[in-house]
A and B are shown apart, each in its own frame.
Chain A
Amino acid sequence: MADTRTGPDSFGEFVAEALPGLLRFGHVLTGDPLEAEDLVQEALARSLRRWRCIRGDNAVPYVRRAMINTHISRWRSWQARVRVGSLPDGCADDPWLRRSDDWDEMRRALASLPPRQRTVLVLRYYEDLPDAAIADLMGCAPVTVRSQAARGLATLRSRLGPVLAEGVYAGVTDHEL
């Protein structure tokens, strides 16, 4: 990415370029489109206020880190959360519909995880980050990352057995704590 600080409208250029990815990341992180938009808006507003201090090539990681911190702290501070509602049954045998149901089930299962477990899983399997990088992002030890991931995966497997087992279960190489 080019140096986003150059030019009078560098922040606007950065937003235009990075927004789709940030919204998608926020959606995966929160599981809710509206909450994802709020999260992105809050993180970008925070970045705008410090824009002079953010190096151009660090802007996206900075915003993502702000999103992660905000997401975790929001969850921690809220006493009650609105869960993603259950969708009605009615899937057909159509592969595309079945795929959609898999995604919906996974979305609901992810949303039911505690925020740290969910964040670890998203960073590991969506961002493909190593545990050390995740630990650095979340401000915890790598062993904590591994334990959170193991718990999250165990929960997902118990709730999404058939969905996660769509492929071949032989030769499972899941991380162990």
Chain B
Amino acid sequence: MSSEERLGELLHDPRWSLPGWSREQALARIRRAARQQRLMVAAQSAAVAVIVGASALAAVPAAMRGGFLPPWTARRAAGHSLHPSHRVPPAGSSFTATYPAVLSSAAGAAPCPAPAGLRAPGPATPVAALAVLRLLGAGLAYELSVTDKTVRPTSAGDGGSIPAGERTAAGRRAMILRILRAGPVSVRYSGPLRAGVGELAAVRHQVAADCGDLVMRSTWVVVSGIPGSRSRDAELLFLTWRGRVLLYDIQ
């Protein structure tokens, strides 16, 4: 018997079996867990589903003017051709933040953006996505000035006003902000999510499973982190929605 056959034999040992649940007990447990998941989704829908809607409106024109992007962004953007037709219109001083509708929890486990208005990533997406990141890391005041007030508690990250139900999502957001503000940030990958490999393949499958194929194909992903610290990588997902590049998140 080879070691592989022996391993298979041990894995089929009857002691792996567990006592079952009664039908009533099982359904009660599952429904209770489903309710908790729905509550989590609802909390995230309020706080995380779409974080920085209008940031790109101000970020992209600033990026186009140059001198705004950090070195790592400029390097990435250097060889990129930006056709005027792909530019995101600038934000006015009286902008109104608008966001894609969020699908109800019945349609997915995560707070997913509705597919209406989504577009495939275009030539301007790399610069716009990195510009949004730059905004997130540049300064909270500026971020808030172009962000709808409803996302302030989440954007504030470490602020004490975060409701208990939003702490997980807010914690993730705070982690991203800490990474972006911790100093030099490296971009390990910037590209369409559908082309992601390795760890990103799992993200791709998760987005497709949770939010559908269209959302996955419309997603641009930036993996950023602190140089020399792989454990602090952050995968940031962006959508192009009606000419805007939006940061979003999933559960």
Q: Would you list the 7 A-B pairs with minimal beta carbon distance, nearest first?
A: A167-B1, A45-B33, A45-B34, A164-B3, A126-B11, A139-B201, A125-B8
A36 touches B7 (CB 8 A): no
Min CB–CB distance B88 → chain A (angstroms): 32
CB of A101, distance to nearest CB on chain B (Å): 11
Residues of B within 8 A of A (CB): 1-8, 10-13, 15-18, 20-21, 23, 26-27, 29-31, 33-34, 36-38, 105-106, 108-109, 197-198, 201-202, 204-206
Give, as a whole number of angstroms, the nearest-CB distance from A30 to chain B. 11
> What residues on B are CB-neighbors of A174 within 8 Å?
2-4
Given A45-B34, A46-B109, A50-B109, also A37-B18 (CB < 8 A): yes
Contacts A37-B18, A49-B109, A72-B202 given; indicate if A125 touches B11 (C-beta within 8 A).
yes
* Complex interface: chain B residues within 8 A of A172 (CB): 2-4
Tell me if A140 and B198 are in contact (CB < 8 A).
Answer: yes
| Residues 14 to 65 of chain A near chain B (Cβ within 8 Å) | 15-16, 19-20, 23-24, 26-28, 33, 36-37, 41-42, 44-46, 48-50
Are B206 and A69 in contact (CB-based, < 8 A)? yes
In the complex, chain B residues whose CB is within 8 Å of the CB of A132: none
Interface status of A121 (Cβ within 8 A of chain B): yes
A-B contact count (CB 8 A): 125
Chain B, Cβ-Cβ closest to A48: B34
How many residues of A are in contact with the other chain, CB < 8 A?
55
Main secondary structure of the interface of B (DSSP, over half): helix
Among A26, A140, A169, contact of B3 (Cβ-Cβ < 8 Å):
A169
Q: Name the B residues within 8 Å of A140 (CB-CB).
A: 198, 201-202
Min C-beta distance of A131 to chain B, whole Å: 13
Chain A 134-167 interface 0/1 with B at a Cβ cutoff of 8 Å (1 = within): 0000111100100000000100110000011111
Task: Look across to chain B and name the residue whose beta carbon is closest to the beta carbon of A72.
Answer: B202
B33 to chain A: which residues have CB within 8 Å? Answer: 41-42, 44-45
Query: Which residue on B lies nearest to A34, using beta carbons?
Result: B18
Tell me, yes or no, whether A175 is within 8 Å of chain B by CB.
Answer: yes
Tell which of B1, B7, B36, B37 touches A125, judged by Cβ atoms closer than 8 Å: B7
Contact (Cβ within 8 A) A175 B17: no
Give complex CA distance A49, B251 in Å: 15
Q: Which residue of A lies closest to B37 (CB)?
A: A45
Q: How far is the CB of B212 from chain A (nearest CB, A)?
A: 10
Contact of A102 among B1, B4, B10, B204 (CB under 8 A): B10
Distance, CA A157 to CA B98, complexed state (A) = 58
| B171 CB to nearest A CB, Å | 11
Contacts of B23 in A (CB 8 A): 12, 15-16
Are B2 and A169 in touch, CB under 8 angstroms?
A: yes
Cα–Cα, bound, A46→B33 (Å): 8
Task: Check if B2 sits within 8 Å of A167, measured CB to CB.
Answer: yes
B2→A19 contact, CB < 8 A: no
* Least CB distance, B193 to chain A, in whole angstroms: 12
